[in-house]
Amino acid sequence: MIPTSDDGKRAYDLDRAYVFHSWSAQAALDPMVIAGGSGTTVWDHDGNEFLDFSSQLVNVNIGHQHPAVRDAIKAQADVLTTVAPAHANLARGEAARRILDRAGSGFGKVFFTNGGADANENAIRMARLYTGRDKVLSTYRSYHGNTGAAVVATGDWRRVPNEYARGHVHFFGPFSYRSEFWSDSVVEEGERALHHLRRVIQSEGASSIAAILIETIPGTAGVLVPPPGYLAGVRALADEFGIVLIFDEVMAGFGRTGDWFAFQSLADEGGDIVVPDLITFAKGVNSGYVPVGGVVISPSIAAAFDESVFPGGLTYSGHPLAMASIVGALDAMESEGIVANAKRVGADVIGPGLRALQAKHPSIIGEVRGLGVFWALDLVADPQTHEPVAPSVIAALKKSLLSLGLLPFFADNRLHVVPPCVVTDDEVARALEIYDRAFSSL
């Protein structure tokens, strides 16, 4: 997709000559050139527009170029563009307060980082220092970032060439459609997954385990909404064995599931919410306008460092431009009802639309799962055996979607439907029509 305009061609040529891309063999790359964006739409230098149903890396929750976030960054740049983290700064304090207000009463402090990976790094560090233990348990179907401990906590293939950190143990979380536990129901899947986790804790030695680190809803692994009672069961195991429970909400947080945090979307029928000890976040907190992440810390863990030094920090922790972007984003999301829109459009439009799409294309769409603006289609070659489609099918589907004006997000055999939280009913309807045409073309 080499652009024909002068600016587009120059951008493409500079990229191919000088930019080293992540997770890629470099020679075969053919990157799409993005010139601009607004709301749920991006365009290239040739004027071709695309519905962004990837939200880039599932992070542009507030949409592209939201004026409230842009204005907040500009206003802060006029006052103070940078400050060392040791100093107090108004934008940082305001950002932390807003995050804590949305997290709820179970939390007391926020430690700011540069992104989601180093948020997980520092959450792991806090858990190890707080407990005096070393091991970290995380699932095989997970992604926690590309830094030392975070990538080893990750369960997918990216962990294997990077296993330099110590003390990491993996287990299987629940996934009824591709069960590791021979379960016959969602309830049974949750029960057997919890039994499996208990046995892993016992076998590893509970007194050696500092933390259980899980994505509240695993994202890149397939938008795996946990069965009812599973998170409560993990919380109970953590409490029983004195283990710190960390929810990674880097992808799932700040409106993506239709609530401020994903754990709030998973309350049981009685309204009870499972609260972790630490929450890691990034992405949706400011929609990626400026790099930022952080750890939301429970009062007991925060208090453990009142007299003991926390041996961690970053030059750009709580960077003023990033903090201003958080304030601008969260205030706009609240005042404009953006989180409520994500909940409504997911329940009333995206979910029903994707299930209708599955009914029309049952030979390839094996399962639809998700909530809010956080959905995945599990694509199969055989709906009976659940055999995943071949990579060539994914490549053909991606090419078709782009030609029809939609920017998709694929992971393995899955098409993730993850538009910004500001998406409208009409935009969803247009996307569903494009998906239908692309599947029909196969």
Kindly report, residue by residue over 306-347, the tens digit of the pLDDT: 999 999 999 999 999 999 999 999 999 999 999 999 999 999
Radius of gyration of the chain (CA): 22
CB 223 within 8 A of CB 264: no
CA distance 43 to 32: 10
The chain-wide mean pLDDT, for the chain, equals: 97
The candidate with the shortest Cα–Cα distance to 259, out of 373, 131, 136, 404, is 373
Ordered domains of the chain (ranges, CATH): 34-65+337-441 (3.90.1150.10), 67-335 (3.40.640.10)
144 in Cβ contact with 115 (< 8 Å):
no
Per-residue pLDDT tens over the stretch 264-286: 999 887 789 999 999 999 999 99
Examine the pLDDT at 1 and tell me if it is beyond 80.
no
- Region 55-71: mean pLDDT is 98
Q: Is the dihedral of CA 358, 157, 284, 215 positive or negative?
A: positive
Alpha-carbon distance of 9 to 18, in angstroms, equals 14
| pLDDT one-digit tens code per residue, 401-429 | 999 999 999 999 999 999 999 999 999 99
Confidence of residue 203 (pLDDT cuts 50, 70, 90): very high
- Average pLDDT for 435-440: 98
* Distance from C-alpha of 356 to C-alpha of 353, rounded to nearest angstrom: 5
Distance between CA atoms of 422 and 437, rounded to whole angstroms?
A: 24
Question: Which band of pLDDT confidence, cut at 50, 70 and 90, is reported for residue 23?
Answer: very high
Percentage of the chain exceeding pLDDT 70: 100
Which pTM value belongs to this model? Answer: 0.97
For residue 145, which of 136, 154, 156, 137 has the smallest C-alpha distance? 154
Which residue pairs, CB below 8 angstroms and at least 24 apart, start in 262-271? 262/216, 262/217, 263/216, 263/231, 264/104, 265/371, 265/372, 266/216, 266/217, 266/225, 266/226, 266/231, 268/228, 268/229, 268/232, 269/228
CA 194 centroid distance within chain: 23
Query: What pLDDT is attached to residue 3?
Result: 78
At residue 70, the pLDDT reads 98
Show the DSSP H helices in 114-228 as ranges: 116-131, 148-153, 186-204
How far, in Å, CA of 95 to CA of 323, rounded?
Answer: 6
One-letter amino acid at 284 equals G
Tens digit of each residue's pLDDT (9 = 90 or more) over 84-118: 999 999 999 999 999 999 999 999 999 999 999 99
**What local confidence, expressed as pLDDT, does residue 112 receive?**
98
